[in-house]
Amino acid sequence: MSIPTAKGQPVGFSVPVILVVVTASAILSISMGIRQSLGLFLPPVSAELGVSAAAFGFALAIQSLVWGISQPIVGALGDRFGPRPVVIGCAAIYAAGLLLMAWGRPVLGLNVGAGLMVGIGIAGTGFGVLFGAVARVVPAERRVQTLGIVSAAGSVATLLIAPLGQYLIVNNGWRAGAAVFALVAFTMAILGALMGPKPAEVEADAEGQGSSIRDSLVAAARHPGFAAMTLAFFACGFQLMYITVHLPAFLAYCGVAPTVGATALGVIGLGNAAGSLLAGYLGSRYSQKRLLALAYLLRTIAIVCFVAKPVTPGSTIVFAAAMGVLWLGVVPLVSGLIVRLFGLRHFNTLFGFAFFSHQIGAFVGSWLGGLSFDLTGSYTVAWGAMIAIGLSAFLLQWFMDDRPRSSSDSACNPAPATT
């Protein structure tokens, strides 16, 4: 069975589509599962090595920044050489960083291993390169929906990797847990070998007449819609990282049991899987910029409702469920808009620059939450910033200019705008 591509060439479901989608989903799930489980190492590392929580958190903040900074570079390599060598190389760096975390000295192991090296590893095994590989083999009418499926997979492995890590840490020590995590990370390199080179029709585009990476970056910088979307993406990173890092501490400040915070993060993960699937489904049928705007607005409304009333275990779980549904569903929508505006040829590179804004937001959200509490003794300022930034993102995204760049300026014809 085959499906037509934009150029009328059949692409079989068996190898070029299903294999790429399943492999990309597995790699993303492993990459995000390990990253989201690294917090399990804080107590044992702190106890054995005397590392403070602030030092451990700083290493993970470095990881977020390095992920964002390296994403455009790694994305450009993916555009140039295809996903296979990028995934294999970055998976190996990911695994080596985890090993260095286990056996390096505290500063070298955490800042260089868990921070720098794992950050680079995530850039090559995360959204940008994998979404580019999937987008190139899926027809336009199914592209956003399929990216939603891949995004939903990003939460699945956490349900297995986090308990595995906790078991290993308790029974075999944190170094053994890190070593097993490194082995799991290296399986991404094996899976990366299945990604294959860029499809023939994309290679033909790359060899034909079209824009260079520099031309695409200049066009993106001059496109007001891309600028608005990138600024709004900052809000996404700010909100998500603030909640991931500071929600448990905020709940403790409000007198809520610590187990509720852990449960809330689990509910967010489950909600993200459902929300990503829903975003992909809706994004293939309705305006992606409007859906993005509504996601930012609904997040902000959920935040207002949560902090406006007394915080209880019940309200926390409801808040976590709402935020989970709105968690990473924005990523396939942003990806769909980039393809709509500029085509596929330099998708990885352009996604990387947009995602860099997301990671800057993540760093600021994590930092501001702690800073506001240290200065004021509460999280009120941080929650207020979350609301203001969320509303700004809604306005930027709602009025975004989503008219595609002229096809004469792009190697791949962008899709028409949706209203």
Give CATH for domain 211-419: 1.20.1250.20
State residue 11's pLDDT score: 42
Task: State residue 253's pLDDT score.
Answer: 84
Q: What is the pLDDT of residue 10?
A: 43
Distance of CA 255 to the CA centre of its chain: 31
Least confident of 199-208, 297-306, 353-362: 199-208
Confidence of residue 196 (pLDDT cuts 50, 70, 90): low
Are 152 and 332 a contacting pair, CB within 8 Å?
A: no
Write down the pLDDT at residue 198.
55
Picking from 410, 413, 355, 409, the residue whose alpha carbon sits closest to that of residue 75 is: 355
- Predicted local confidence at residue 395, as pLDDT: 96
The token pair that represents 346 in the structure block: 């330099």
Looking at mean pLDDT, say which of 120-134, 339-353, 386-400 comes out highest: 386-400
Same fold, 1-199 and 211-419: yes
Measured in degrees and rounded to the nearest 5, phi and psi for residue 3 equal -130, 150
Q: Supply the mean pLDDT for the chain.
A: 83
Segment 366-394 shows an average pLDDT of 88
pLDDT on residue 31? 93
Mean of pLDDT values over 408-418 = 46
- Which amino acid makes up residue 222? R
- Contact between residue 125 and residue 75 where contact means Cβ atoms under 8 Å apart: no
Most trustworthy range by pLDDT among 26-40, 79-93, 233-247? 79-93
* Residue 333, pLDDT score: 92
Distance of alpha carbon 124 from alpha carbon 212, whole angstroms: 21
Q: Parse the chain into domains and list their residue ranges.
A: 1-199, 211-419
353 CB contacts (<8 Å, ≥6 apart)? Answer: 71, 72, 217, 220, 230
DSSP state of 2: E
Residue type, position 289, single letter: K
Of 86-90, 261-265, 316-320, 358-362, least confident by mean pLDDT is 261-265
Are 135 and 339 in contact, with CB atoms under 8 Å apart? yes
pLDDT at 208: 34
**What's the CA gap between 381 and 353, in Å, rounded?**
29
User: Does domain 1-199 match CATH 1.20.1250.20?
Assistant: yes
Per-residue DSSP letters for 198-229? --HHHHHHHHSS---HHHHHHHHHH-HHHHHH
CA distance 332 to 144: 6
